[in-house]
Amino acid sequence: MKITGIKSFTLFIIGFCFTLNTYSQEPDTLLASKLFELSLEDLMDVEIVSAVRQNQNIIDAPSIVSVITANQIKERGYISIDEALNSIAGLDFITDHSQPNMGIRGINGGVRSYSRLVKIMIDGQNISFRSNADNYLGLSLIPIEAIDKIEIIRGPNSALYGKNAFLGVINIITKKGSSLNANAVSHFLGNTNQNTSFGLSTIIGGAKKNFDFLFASTYAQFDYSNLKPQNIPGQSIYSSDDVSKKNESNPTSVYIKMNYETEDWGKFTFDMVNQNVNSHAEFADWGALTHNNRISLFNSFERLQYSKMLLEKLSADFTFAHSFGKPVNNEIFDDDTDPSEWIEREIKYNSYDVNGNFSYFFDDINIVSLGIDFTSDIHDHQKFYSMNTSGIRNLNPGGTDGEKYFTNFGVFLQMILNPAKFFDLSFLEDLTLTGGYRYDIHNIYGNVFTYRLAAVYHLNNELSTKLMYGTSFNAPSSTQLYTNYISPGGFVGNPDLKPEKAKTLEWAIIGKLSNNINFNTNLFYTEIEDKIEYLLPYGQVSNITAGNISNIYSGGIEAEINFSQKNKTCYLNYAYQKSILEKNDPILQKIKVNTALYPSHMIKFGNTLHFPDYYLNLNLEARYISSRIASDQNNFIYDPINYATNRYKLDPYFVIDLMISSTDLEIIKNSKSRIILKIENLLDYKYYYPGFNNYDIPSLRRSVYFQFKHYI
Amino acid sequence: MSKLKRYKIFVFIIGFVVFMSSCEKLTEDFNKKQYKNPVKIAVVGDVSMLREQVENMFFGAQLAMEEINQKGGLVINGEKREIELIFKNSGGNPELGVDLIYELYEQNINLIIGPTFSSVAVEMAEECVKNNMLMMSYAATTPEITLLDDNDLIWRTCPSDYTFGTISAEYCVDTLQLNNAAILFRNDRFGTGLSTIIKDMFTELGGNVKANVSFPNEVNLNTYDFEYEMSTIFNSEIDVLFIVAFNSEIAVLTHRIFNNSKYQSLNKKPYIFVNDGILPEEILTNGNPELIDDILGISSTNEGNPNYALYKNNYKSRFGFLPATYSEHAYDAVYCLAYAMLKGNTTNPLQIKQYLREISGVDDYDPNNDVIKINVNEFDVGKNILLKGRSINYEGASGPINFDINGDPFPKIVIWSFENNQYIELTHFEK
């Protein structure tokens, strides 16, 4: 079945909504009302913390914020963060079936980038693998059952969060043990692209007196075998026999959190995350279909937090965290199919973060905050070694050795000001201003000043408009600076890299159109200087090198609408982005071309229906992603002369996921259970993600998962 | 929404205007130049295979074109004309190269600079001769071109492999006193041609070529089983292994040699002598570090050539990076054609060919020594002299061109090596 174009998507939505109206004639019930109320809460009246590090209503937050709540995760059957984020306007994912790589607002980090354009945090703690600043958004990030909500901020936030809060911030807020209705065990069995997959998750938690405890874990195995890469147009490197084999992925994650809180002593929190990324990377850029790659990384943090109201209007919180990451022993890189020779990697980091934040509350709106933080990263920079069965272990050439100790001292100041209250200017009662400034001093890339200014204006009780401007930066990682190569001609670091810098102007309107419809729409314009990319530098013929190669200008619109009525809730969002990359081409000189890897149009739709009389819920989600320009690396092959301007595109795609789940059933006496059937890519649509080495990466075909969740 | 006051709508409008005014940069701009009354010259390269190297040669040609056009361009029959370069890919494939000739012929483009590979150049040359098109290669070094029956339409600004092969063998036998050699060459026209010259000269000088083995040219060398080739080469003790390969292949070859058990079992490790076109920095960066001290190489050199130094500076100013090997030959090819067109007041290849030796400094054409030397980026000077009917001697970025009777130049040649992981030049050869 071949479906292309926005028209198909529009027809689908119209058709589906017609069906919904039929369902909505069903008599309402108490249970349905309860579910409906929960959904309404999800829709708009959500408190968020990430925009200003203070609790705020989403309408008041001086940022473009979307929220995915635990209830939505449950209703929609998401099993990993990337699945959940893929429902958000303006976010696009490509994958090599090892890890998802998220782009945002017209820009993707490109090759060797796993979602490094945004800062991912768990309750405010950076969770990237710091050696390369990658964020592993698959199942290994955190057990999804532990999530209370995911706050997604599009736009720069370095003024608050420092480096790498570049084009966005995603803060995962975890549940409290006391918020769990019951401990739960869930497992799934599935058919992923005609291969068996399975997984097991647990969540245990509770509270006693002042002590709160949460434990969650996830393990899964997916098999992405039998996937055929797509040749670049005009090429025939891969035949129909070339398929991925034993392309397994075994992500694991464990999350533990403990709180102790009293009025006198304040609140102590200890939490920790262990992640294990473990996947055969059959579509790795250094060697596709070698049947011998395995990326296996351990990443973790442990953190102790203390917070207290020091005075009636003065709060303080302090954090000490240790993060650690390194490969696990079974990691192998291979650029060919000869098993007698392979490559191993050494890489490790130990990081220590200390920070303290103080906030003074003049009243419930006017707040001034001061924060100081210090980070020390101790890196064993990435080194690749060539190995063979004879016992030879040679350090590969390329790259340079650099400073092992990365230290950063940052200080920020933020003021949230309502002039009406603060200066008694009543005619400005609907206006709130936010200003944030931050100064970072780093021993490798120097000093960076960032800031953010925002004005939020209440047009009426249910409608506000926001005008925001901010700057941000993305620091070069240890790997980008110093790595040697996997194989001759491969990627090497560049110790002269500068941070990528961005400035963004945003204008948003958010509010309710009626009691059951709300919307959130914004226009944005971003300029990025010194974008880092891995490309072969002109004039050299040896290795691909990380470089500050281009500037990017990106503008667009993101609009989302949420609707809830009786026993159904749905969302529809649309994102249009026009993203232009400006660079110096040796022949043409300064040129501006559309950025690669990112669609211009994205339409995402979801609908959840509740059938309480039948103990059933149904969730259907659909995504239309328009065509994307293939990677620069592939376009070098497609047109080796005019690659800067003559580039091929990957076809648009349209995917529908369907989930049917039971309500909580008493299958076993005195306990509740839930049964879920999820079908991903219901139409079995064949599409491709941009690849980076003479092929494009096939999507998964129709996959079916059966999940059983048991509340103990 | 209808309850909004007017001033609140005003806020919307201001916001929208502010936003849209900042978005002027969101349009594509390929910055494509329009040429005035152009003379079109095709620049052909095998970019499918060695894009990173070949496009540097394109840049050399581009620099020459820009310098010429900036200085007023050509004057043909009293008419001002700019040069427009049409870049084309011959794909490392002789059939594609021949198809390209047909395509260019259809487009009435009959001046060709390129291609890169010898194997493509010979086939293209034959078609050019049939169609009265003039071809001037900047990198195809095969001796087959030297000896081609070409109606004087096939030229090159790079030296012939005959020169490189002969000097390589002479240096090993006469200077280093090496008597036993093996040759490993890529199985194509370039590899066969150069290896034959080395073998013949090495033997003629009294040496013994114990093995002469090819490797396939269309395989992944990372995965190719070199067992046969390595066994044959290292079956007996040799003093030197000549490798005839592309720059992109040399790093893998050094790793495969070093990891070969027969190589490891040799009592005395042989020198490895690599051909012209293999870059020292490629070996230093990507080659097996254990072999570096045993490697010798040959190339044309621009050491001591002030025109190359000037070219290098101009190239760096224009592109922001240093030129790679052979780019100077592409640069010179554009200038040679431009000066010959001016000299002959023609764009007809059959007439241009008659003036190429005149402008490139061959003594036979200057009995009275009434010529003025023209250096790099002196097109305005050279043009004025030629328009006055006088003669010039273009000394290019690659040195004196001095096309011989076969249309080949003879540059200064260097034997190089490494010492303490640094490139060093051992000796030079000049005409």
Looking at the partner chain, which of B15, B220, B248 has a beta carbon nearest the beta carbon of A507?
Answer: B15
Which of B255, B275, B295 is at the close of a domain? Answer: B275
What is the rounded distance in angstroms from the CA atom of residue B347 to the CA atom of residue B39?
A: 8
Q: Residue A2: pLDDT above 70?
A: no
Mean pLDDT of A421-441: 91
Q: CA-based diameter of chain B, in Å?
A: 102
Confidence at residue A546, expressed as pLDDT on a 0 to 100 scale: 87
What is the rounded distance in angstroms from the CA atom of residue A403 to the CA atom of residue A383?
A: 14
Shortest Cα–Cα distance, A176 to chain B (Å): 39
Confidence at residue B421, expressed as pLDDT on a 0 to 100 scale: 86
Domain assignment present for residue B298? The answer is no
What is the rounded distance in angstroms from the CA atom of residue A461 to the CA atom of residue A59?
A: 10
Q: What angle do CA A442, A448, A454 make, to 5 degrees?
A: 135
Mean pLDDT is highest, among A44-48, A450-454, B15-19, for: A450-454
- Cβ of A536 under 8 Å from any chain B Cβ? yes
Kindly report, residue by residue over B77-112, the tens digit of the pLDDT: 999 999 999 999 999 899 999 999 999 999 999 999
Q: What angle do CA A344, A345, A350 make, to 5 degrees?
A: 150
Q: Are residues B153 and B183 in the same domain?
A: no
Sign of the C-alpha dihedral computed for residues B144, B148, B154 and B158 taken in this order = positive
Q: Are residues B195 and B128 in the same domain?
A: no
The confidence band for B431, taking pLDDT boundaries of 50, 70 and 90, is low
Angle between helices B94-106 and B118-130 (to 10 degrees): 30
Q: Please tell me the least confidently modeled range out of A578-587, B219-228, B276-285.
A: B219-228
Looking at the partner chain, which of A388, A584, A642 has a beta carbon nearest the beta carbon of B259?
Answer: A388
Q: Residue A331: pLDDT above 60?
A: yes
Mean pLDDT of A557-577: 92
Tell me how far apart the terminal alpha carbons of chain B are, to the nearest angstrom: 87
What is the rounded distance in angstroms from the CA atom of residue B420 to the CA atom of residue A91?
A: 51
Q: Are residues B257 and B326 in the same domain?
A: no
What is the rounded distance in angstroms from the CA atom of residue A80 to the CA atom of residue A118?
A: 17
Q: Are residues B167 and B243 in the same domain?
A: yes
- Cβ contacts from A onto B, under 8 A: 149
Structural domains of chain A ordered from first start: 5-711 (2.40.170.20)
pTM over 0.90: no
- Cβ of B314 under 8 Å from any chain A Cβ? no
Is there a contact between A525 and B251 if contact means CB atoms under 8 Å apart?
no
- Cβ of B8 under 8 Å from any chain A Cβ? yes
Contacts with B98 (C-beta within 8 Å, 6 or more apart), sequence order:
B123, B124, B127
Comparing A438 with A424, the larger pLDDT belongs to: A438
Half-sphere exposure of A678 (CA within 13 A, CB side): 22
The confidence band for A541, taking pLDDT boundaries of 50, 70 and 90, is low
Q: Please tell me the least confidently modeled range out of A23-27, A154-158, A656-660.
A: A23-27
Domain assignment present for residue B400? The answer is no
Confidence at residue A671, expressed as pLDDT on a 0 to 100 scale: 83
Q: Residue B58: pLDDT above 90?
A: yes
**B115: preceding bond cis by omega (within 30 degrees):** yes
- Cβ of B417 under 8 Å from any chain A Cβ? no
Q: Are residues B145 and B173 in the same domain?
A: no
- Count the neighbouring beta carbons within 10 Å of the beta carbon of residue A560: 21
- Count the neighbouring beta carbons within 10 Å of the beta carbon of residue B183: 25
Report the side by side order of strands in the sheet with A688-689: A230-231, A695-698, A688-689
Confidence at residue B16, expressed as pLDDT on a 0 to 100 scale: 65
DSSP letters, A383-407, are: EEEEEETT--EEE---S----SEEE
Q: Residue B8: pLDDT above 80?
A: no
- Show the domain range for B262: 162-275
> Residue A619 burial by CB count (10 A; 0-12/13-18/19+): exposed, middle or buried?
buried
CB-CB contact of B397 with B308 (8 Å): yes
Confidence at residue A89, expressed as pLDDT on a 0 to 100 scale: 96
For residue B262, give the CATH number of its domain. Answer: 3.40.50.2300
Q: Please tell me the least confidently modeled range out of A46-55, A520-529, B32-41, B161-170.
A: A46-55
Which helix (H) or strand (E) segment holds residue A107: the answer is none
Q: Are residues B72 and B151 in the same domain?
A: yes
Tell me how far apart the terminal alpha carbons of chain A are, to the nearest angstrom: 44
Q: Sort out which chain B residues have CB atoms less than 8 A from A539's CB and list them.
A: 56, 319-324
What is the rounded distance in angstroms from the CA atom of residue A512 to the CA atom of residue A57?
A: 14
Half-sphere exposure of A173 (CA within 13 A, CB side): 19
Buried b (16+ CB within 10 A) or exposed e, B272-289: bbbbbbbbbebbbbbbbb
Q: Sort out which chain A residues have CB atoms less than 8 A from B289's CB and list them.
A: 394, 397
Domain assignment present for residue B370? The answer is yes
- Count the neighbouring beta carbons within 10 Å of the beta carbon of residue A381: 23
Kindly report, residue by residue over A183-224, the tens digit of the pLDDT: 999 999 999 988 999 999 999 999 998 999 999 999 999 999
Q: Residue A8: pLDDT above 80?
A: no
Q: Which residue has the tokens 């036993």?
A: B180
CA dist A26 → A21, A40, A292, A571, B288 (Å): 9, 19, 55, 21, 74
Comparing A252 with B370, the larger pLDDT belongs to: A252
Task: Dump strand ranges (E) for B235-319.
Answer: 240-244, 271-274, 295-300
Domain assignment present for residue B301? The answer is no
Q: Are residues B336 and B354 in the same domain?
A: yes
Q: Which of A 447-476 lie inside 8 A of B, CB atoms?
A: 457, 459-460, 463, 465, 467
The confidence band for A33, taking pLDDT boundaries of 50, 70 and 90, is very low
Q: Are residues B84 and B105 in the same domain?
A: yes
Looking at the partner chain, which of B3, B26, B28 has a beta carbon nearest the beta carbon of A460?
Answer: B3
Confidence at residue A19, expressed as pLDDT on a 0 to 100 scale: 43
- Count the neighbouring beta carbons within 10 Å of the beta carbon of residue A76: 24
What is the rounded distance in angstroms from the CA atom of residue B67 to the CA atom of residue B59?
A: 12
**Above pLDDT 90, what percent of chain A?**
75
Closest to A563 (Cα-Cα) out of A11, A24, A6, A8: A24
Q: Residue A37: pLDDT above 60?
A: no
Mean pLDDT of A671-693: 94
Is there a contact between B32 and A588 if contact means CB atoms under 8 Å apart?
yes
Secondary structure (3-state) at B204: helix
HEC string for A323-383 = EEEEECCCCEECCCCCCCEEEEEEEEEEEEEEEEEEEEECCCCCEEEEEEEEEEEEEEEEE
- Cβ of A541 under 8 Å from any chain B Cβ? yes
Q: Residue A3: pLDDT above 50?
A: no
- Look up residue A634 and give its two tokens: 């592939």
Q: Residue A267: pLDDT above 50?
A: yes
Q: Sort out which chain A residues have CB atoms less than 8 A from B87's CB and list them.
A: 587, 641-642
| DSSP conformational letter for B173 | I
CA dist A664 → A31, A182, A565, A676 (Å): 11, 12, 22, 11
Is there a contact between B89 and A640 if contact means CB atoms under 8 Å apart?
yes
CA dist A571 → A48, A105, A516, A607 (Å): 20, 19, 12, 7
Kindly report, residue by residue over A615-644, the tens digit of the pLDDT: 999 999 999 999 999 999 999 999 999 999
Mean pLDDT of A530-553: 83
Q: Residue A24: pLDDT above 50?
A: no
Dihedral class, residue A566 (left if φ above 0, else alpha if ψ from -120 to 50, else beta) = left
Kindly report, residue by residue over A341-355, the tens digit of the pLDDT: 899 999 999 999 999
Sign of the C-alpha dihedral computed for residues B236, B241, B245 and B248 taken in this order = positive
Mean pLDDT of A406-415: 96
What is the rounded distance in angstroms from the CA atom of residue A233 to the CA atom of residue A638?
A: 7
Kindly report, residue by residue over A43-74, the tens digit of the pLDDT: 557 888 888 888 888 888 999 999 999 999 99
Domain count for chain B: 2
Buried b (16+ CB within 10 A) or exposed e, B389-404: eebbbbbbbbbbbbbe
Confidence at residue B147, expressed as pLDDT on a 0 to 100 scale: 79
**Residue A169 φ then ψ, to 5°:** -135, 135
CB-CB contact of A237 with A695 (8 Å): yes
Domain assignment present for residue B248? The answer is yes
CB-CB contact of A134 with A128 (8 Å): yes
Q: Are residues B186 and B247 in the same domain?
A: yes
Confidence at residue A653, expressed as pLDDT on a 0 to 100 scale: 97
Shortest Cα–Cα distance, A578 to chain B (Å): 7
Dihedral class, residue B165 (left if φ above 0, else alpha if ψ from -120 to 50, else beta) = alpha
Q: Residue B1: pLDDT above 70?
A: no
Secondary structure (3-state) at A83: helix
Angle between helices B247-258 and B47-70 (to 10 degrees): 140
Q: Are residues B357 and B271 in the same domain?
A: no
Confidence at residue A10, expressed as pLDDT on a 0 to 100 scale: 52
Average pLDDT, chain B: 89
Average pLDDT, chain A: 90
Domain assignment present for residue B407? The answer is no
Q: Are residues B269 and B318 in the same domain?
A: no
Domain assignment present for residue B79? The answer is yes
Q: Are residues B174 and B149 in the same domain?
A: no
What is the CA B39 to chain-centroid distance, rounded?
A: 23
Confidence at residue B5, expressed as pLDDT on a 0 to 100 scale: 59
Shortest Cα–Cα distance, A278 to chain B (Å): 26
Which of B258, B275, B292 is at the close of a domain? Answer: B275
What is the rounded distance in angstroms from the CA atom of residue B259 to the CA atom of residue A363?
A: 73
